[in-house]
Amino acid sequence: MLQISPASTATKFTDGKLWNVARVCGRDDQQGPAAAAYIMKAFAGKNVAILNDKNTYGKGLADETRKAAQCGRFGEKMFESFNRGEIDFSAIVSRLKRENIDLVYVGGYPLESGLILRRCASRASRPF
């Protein structure tokens, strides 16, 4: 039986090189360096936070982005995890403000990212 995944980004999914397993999206170790390259170019000298939702997808993507940025001698100012399904991001947003973060990169799903953005916007005139 053939298995084709439209969304499995974890590197282990196809590392076994099974004949019947394929993916049609980029792996974390491809997406992370691409994101890091953009961040390093567009936000050089800025304060960057990398957040993740502790799940295989979000954490894998955030970890690979962080690893690639560090190889490029670009370190994030903040690396933080949250629980998928969380709705109160006041502690994370307070830290983002305190650290004067210019860019937030989220490894995770749109729901939590939107809630973080909404919380930021409600606390200041300039979210980031």
- Per the model's pLDDT, the better-predicted residue between 97 and 7 turns out to be 97
Whether 5 is covered by a domain: the verdict is no
Beta-carbon count within 10 A of 40 CB: 15
Q: What is the pLDDT of residues 8-20, one digit of tens each?
A: 888 888 888 889 9
Whether 18 is covered by a domain: the verdict is no
Contact 112, 84 (CB under 8 A): yes
For the domain that residue 37 is a member of, what is the CATH number? 3.40.50.2300
Give how far Cα 105 sits from Cα of 51, 52, 66, 68, 96, Å. 6, 8, 10, 14, 12
Rounded mean pLDDT, 86-115: 95
- The parent domain of residue 96 ranges over 27-123
- Per the model's pLDDT, the better-predicted residue between 128 and 54 turns out to be 54
Residue 128: CB partners within 8 Å, gap ≥ 6? 96, 101, 102, 103, 104, 120
Whether 33 is covered by a domain: the verdict is yes
Whether 15 is covered by a domain: the verdict is no
Q: What is the pLDDT of residues 92-105, one digit of tens each?
A: 999 999 999 999 99
The whole-angstrom separation of Cα 58 and Cα 125 is 28
Q: What is the mean pLDDT of the chain?
A: 91
Whether 21 is covered by a domain: the verdict is no
Q: Please return the burial class of 68, using the count of CB atoms within 10 Å of its CB with bins 0-12, 13-18 and 19+.
A: buried
Q: What is the pLDDT of residues 19-28, one digit of tens each?
A: 999 889 899 9
pTM: 0.86
Rounded mean pLDDT, 75-88: 94
Number of domains in the chain: 1
Q: Both tokens of residue 70?
A: 């560090």
Q: Does 52 score more than 70 pLDDT?
A: yes
